[in-house]
């Protein structure tokens, strides 16, 4: 019993010491704020065994140029540094981020949500193979980030992970990748090409929305789902080959792809959603799936270069304003079609 009590007292003293150190840290930070000295240029964390970079740990760190994780020495110092990093965005006002490089360390397992959000000078990122998860928006608004290689241990690119990384021109995806979540590369306006490994099954909503420089993309041969608005406003995309495995294309998936010239739907696709190819102005060739049943409202509206389209016998429903007024509708066989509203053609 005495041994337990002794350990308890030691633990209590350690906690008290930690609280005191944190209190002093906050006093120093407040003093810095009053003196308007917000130019923190480097952070040296004390633990090479660190496993998690916490939520918003380095958000808006405008003047932070380097992050170095040193060898393990003192657990109390680790806690101190973790506390410091978690309080970073609260202790220092905007703007204060000049992180130019980040090199992960061998035991890192997770980069949490918005960990490097808005680090506008971050240009290079090395993520070790120990990382199995990246949080939502982890690198959003890193406007100087030009390239990134993701580790083989990563299976999912989370939502908004690289939102508005406007200088990102290339990204290397591992062969373990299965899912690209919603808005993962939203408005990556410098991204010109990307190759998805054959392990990718799902592309989420708005995953590549507004990637205006995207000229080519190689899709996974096992891809099943393209989410709504996934490639909307990819205004440099001239062609895309949809794999035979594809079953679902979401609403407005290719809307506003103004230079897209041709599209062939694989046989497993049974429905084209609302505005899927809306305002694909240069679209001249469309080959529909032989099993297609439904064409949604405004699916091909404002595709003014489309002169004719052949509908398969499987069609049962065509939504209102599905095609431009001038398009010629062709049928392999005359068949009664249920319409939500009579088409004008």
DSSP secondary structure of 64-80? --EEEEPPP--HHHHHH
Cα torsion angle, 279, 285, 288, 293, sign: positive
pLDDT tier, 38 (very low <50, low <70, confident <90, very high otherwise): very low
In the predicted structure, residue 171 carries a pLDDT above the cut 60:
yes
Burial class (CB in 10 A: 0-12, 13-18, 19+), 255: buried
- 51-64 per-residue burial string, b: 16 or more CB within 10 A, e: under 16: eebbbbbbbbbbbb
Q: What pLDDT, on the 0 to 100 scale, is given for residue 110?
A: 82
In the predicted structure, residue 344 carries a pLDDT above the cut 50:
no
- What is the distance between the terminal CA atoms of the chain, rounded to a whole angstrom? 90
Minimal CA–CA distance to 319: which of 282, 277, 265?
277
Q: What pLDDT, on the 0 to 100 scale, is given for residue 70?
A: 38
Percent of the chain with pLDDT over 90: 52
- 164-197 per-residue burial string, b: 16 or more CB within 10 A, e: under 16: bbbbbeebebeeebebbbbbbbbbbebbeebebb
In the predicted structure, residue 317 carries a pLDDT above the cut 80:
yes
Q: How many helices (H) and strands (E) does the chain have?
A: 3, 24
Q: What pLDDT, on the 0 to 100 scale, is given for residue 101?
A: 53
Q: What pLDDT, on the 0 to 100 scale, is given for residue 148?
A: 84
Is residue 331 classed as helix, strand or coil in its secondary structure? strand
Q: What pLDDT, on the 0 to 100 scale, is given for residue 62?
A: 55
Percent of the chain with pLDDT over 70: 65
Residue located via tokens 């040193």 = 70
Burial class (CB in 10 A: 0-12, 13-18, 19+), 10: exposed
Q: Report the C-alpha gap between 85 and 59 in whole angstroms.
A: 10
Burial class (CB in 10 A: 0-12, 13-18, 19+), 3: exposed
Q: Report the C-alpha gap between 123 and 335 in whole angstroms.
A: 58
Residue located via tokens 């290339």 = 170
What residues contact 345, with CB distance under 8 A and at least 6 apart?
A: 323, 325, 326, 327, 328, 329
Task: Give the mean pLDDT of 321-340.
Answer: 74
Minimal CA–CA distance to 162: which of 213, 220, 206?
206
pLDDT tier, 130 (very low <50, low <70, confident <90, very high otherwise): confident
In the predicted structure, residue 150 carries a pLDDT above the cut 70:
yes
**pTM (predicted TM-score):** 0.74
Residues facing residue 308 across a β-bridge: 328
The three state secondary structure string of 186-224 is: CCCCCCCEEECCCCCCEECCCCCCCCCCCCEEECCCCCC
Using DSSP bridges, classify how beta strands 248-249 and 225-226 pair: parallel, antiparallel or unpaired: parallel
Torsion angle in degrees (nearest 10) through CA of 64, 68, 73, 78: 40
In the predicted structure, residue 138 carries a pLDDT above the cut 70:
yes
- Is residue 255 within 8 Å of 277, Cβ to Cβ? yes
């Amino acid at each position: 019993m005495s041994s337990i009590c002794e350990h308890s007292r030691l633990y209590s003293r350690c906690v008290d010491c930690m609280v005191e150190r944190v209190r002093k840290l906050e006093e120093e930070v407040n003093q810095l704020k009053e003196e308007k000295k917000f130019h923190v240029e480097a952070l040296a964390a004390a633990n090479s065994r660190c496993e998690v970079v916490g939520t918003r740990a380095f958000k808006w760190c405008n003047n932070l140029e380097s992050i170095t994780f040193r060898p393990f020495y003192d657990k109390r110092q680790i806690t101190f540094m973790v506390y410091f990093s978690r309080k970073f965005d609260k202790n220092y006002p905007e703007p204060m981020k000049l992180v130019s490089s980040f090199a992960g360390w061998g035991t890192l397992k997770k980069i949490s949500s918005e960990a490097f959000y808005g680090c506008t000078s971050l240009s290079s990122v090395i993520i070790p193979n120990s990382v199995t998860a990246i949080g939502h928006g982890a690198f959003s608004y890193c406007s100087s980030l030009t390239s990134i290689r993701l580790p083989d241990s990563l299976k999912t690119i989370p939502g908004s992970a690289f939102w508005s990384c406007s200088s990102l021109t290339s990204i290397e995806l591992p062969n373990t990748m299965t899912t690209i979540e919603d808005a993962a590369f939203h408005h990556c306006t410098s991204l010109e090409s990307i190759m998805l490994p054959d392990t990718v099954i799902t592309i989420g909503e708005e995953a590549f929305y507004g990637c205006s420089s995207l000229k080519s993309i190689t899709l996974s041969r096992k891809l099943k789902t393209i989410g709504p608005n996934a490639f909307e406003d990819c205004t440099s995309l001239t062609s895309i080959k949809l794999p035979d495995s594809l079953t679902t294309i979401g609403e407005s998936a290719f809307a506003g792809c103004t230079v897209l010239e041709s599209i062939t739907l694989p046989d497993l696709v049974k429905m084209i959603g609302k505005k899927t190819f809306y305002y694909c102005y240069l679209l001249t060739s469309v080959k529909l799936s032989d099993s297609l049943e439904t064409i949604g409202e405004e699916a091909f509206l404002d595709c003014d270069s489309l002169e004719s389209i052949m509908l398969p016998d499987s069609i049962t429903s065509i939504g209102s304003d599905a095609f431009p007024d001038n398009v010629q509708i062709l049928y392999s066989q005359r068949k009664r079609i249920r319409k939500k509203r009579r088409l004008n053609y």
